[in-house]
Structure 1
């Protein structure tokens, strides 16, 4: 099953603050907040939630279709994505706006403050998803990740009309969406993705209880940072999968996107949500150790070794046939030579 990922494609400007943001917040002065941070580093990286998710899926060999809007400055980024197994034929190039920009500062506790300029992302609403997918009949799932809000609404509605399963991943856009907009984006999703803070914000925005949310989606996947991930369904079942232990934190940016790539890949291969969450956590650990959202690489041996050590041998063994495809998407697009088939020793 191929996956189409709609949403933001951006350039990330990442800064590191050596102190703690929380120590600079004075509770009785928050109404007149004015802070400046002297940072230790500035790095420019490729990012955007949709591109990050597609990148992870591409590394796993799933040949994902990326759908979004960019500027004329996208050429080098597009080459990078193609070389890593991502199909960019669904990307619209604006003649008026640059590719979106994100500026994010991370402190020593991994707390972050970010700002975002959408640029060409505002033109994503002009992409007709149903027309685009007529040339990609093998798409079995569409991920609606953070994007221009009107584009998110339009593409979600098109999925419903076409009877095409979709995953709702409103994430960062929850802060600016109305309750009615959030309810519309969530309703009927096969998967709903949030982090722990976003789950509370989603309940506040929608006015729904957790049980009411679960009556409207197939399953709700909540990432818990170092606590792992929780998967809930309307029948009352709840599973918590721990995170990979002992992972050094280089940069948390894009870690949730890497998790989504691993999770959705394993679900597409027919594995249980618990197994999918384990693979997602392993990809998240790989991303956590790199600087930027796409500063990691994957090999089947490496993934299987981490799965076996962090979880169990049986989980790793069950994924062997699927992880033989790691790198194949990139090979097909860039002409790289494949490694020989592998087994789990």
Structure 2
């Protein structure tokens, strides 16, 4: 059965500055910055949390259904999804806006300056979860603020189990709003930084959050992940990657593993291990949607890493 993925679709414009920002920005002149960086290389990637999660879920043999809003420039992305055989039936085109755009400039020291234009994401609340039809599970990932609130409430109102994945959207909400999300959610998934922000804003400890949901998942990068469920903490090891190329989208790959595992009634240890593997596969490739292992390769790599087969 299909998994509903509410979140963003965006273009990632990634540029490389061969110099150092520190050599171009004068500390005593930061109150009147007027600077230009020559970026000889640039690439555009298909991104956004919903797109990245759906891409990885499709690799696993799942059935992703994206609910998102895109703009007048969305034709290449929609064609990309058609080629992947990912449904666009719940993707709304806003003709008066651009698709969400991220502009990332990285210097020689790997420092980054990023600008993000939400564009059509701001209209995500125009989509209704009820229009998705029959789905087994839903995830609310970073999106327009109103859309995240309304889609969470709509999913629970329809009896659909919900993963709350606030990601970079977390700073948009105050403590009471985040508590509301937690009360609605069946599962909560955050990285270690987001976990700190979530506890600070809500005043709830990780154990208190875990008591309010069926599972709290905290990813910790190269340290793996922790799953708090049923009064226990399951430690998930990090799967060694072939190479470290680009961390962009690793969290989304992990979320796809969660969706697939939960949809197939796996135990939490296996769900965490599969999710960790998907992040490891992704980090070895530039861009969030350029890794393309076959399903057989994923299954074999899981067996090699953990000594048993997940299916």
TM-score by length of 2: 0.90
Q: Indicate which of 137, 146, 150 corresponds to 2:146.
A: 150
Q: Structure 1 36/75 Cα, relative in aligned 2: closer, same or farther at 3 Å?
A: closer
Question: Structure 1 unaligned runs (5+)?
Answer: 320-345
Match of 1:326 in 2: none
Q: Return structure 1 stretches of 4+ with deviation > 4 angstroms.
A: 16-21, 31-40, 105-113
Match of 1:66 in 2: 66
For 2:32 and 2:168, locate their aligned partners in 1 and report how far apart those are by CA, in whole Å: 22
Q: Indicate which of 249, 257, 268 corresponds to 1:273.
A: 268
For 1:253 and 1:17, locate their aligned partners in 2 and report how far apart those are by CA, in whole Å: 18
For 2:231 and 2:109, locate their aligned partners in 1 and report how far apart those are by CA, in whole Å: 34
On the 8 A contact 1:100/1:118 being kept in 2, the answer is yes
Number of matched pairs: 308
On the 8 A contact 1:5/1:67 being kept in 2, the answer is yes
Q: Indicate which of 300, 303, 307 corresponds to 2:302.
A: 307
SS in 1 for 2:136: strand
SS in 2 for 1:318: coil
On the 8 A contact 2:241/2:283 being kept in 1, the answer is no
Q: Indicate which of 224, 233, 238 corresponds to 2:233.
A: 238
For 1:143 and 1:10, locate their aligned partners in 2 and report how far apart those are by CA, in whole Å: 17
Give the C-alpha shift of residue 85 in structure 1. Answer: 3.1
For 1:110 and 1:217, locate their aligned partners in 2 and report how far apart those are by CA, in whole Å: 37
SS in 2 for 1:174: helix
Two-structure CA RMSD over aligned residues (Å):
2.6
For the pair 1:199 / 2:191, whether they are aligned, the reply is no
Match of 1:164 in 2: 160
Q: Spell out, residue by residue over 1:133-163, the C-alpha distance to the aligned partner (whole angstroms, 9 max, x if none).
A: 3xx22x0111100000111001111112222
SS in 1 for 2:14: strand
TM-score by length of 1: 0.81
Give the C-alpha shift of residue 126 in structure 1. Answer: 1.1
Give the C-alpha shift of residue 220 in structure 1. Answer: 0.8
For 2:294 and 2:176, locate their aligned partners in 1 and report how far apart those are by CA, in whole Å: 43
Question: Structure 2 unaligned runs (5+)?
Answer: none
For the pair 1:179 / 2:175, whether they are aligned, the reply is yes
SS in 1 for 2:69: strand
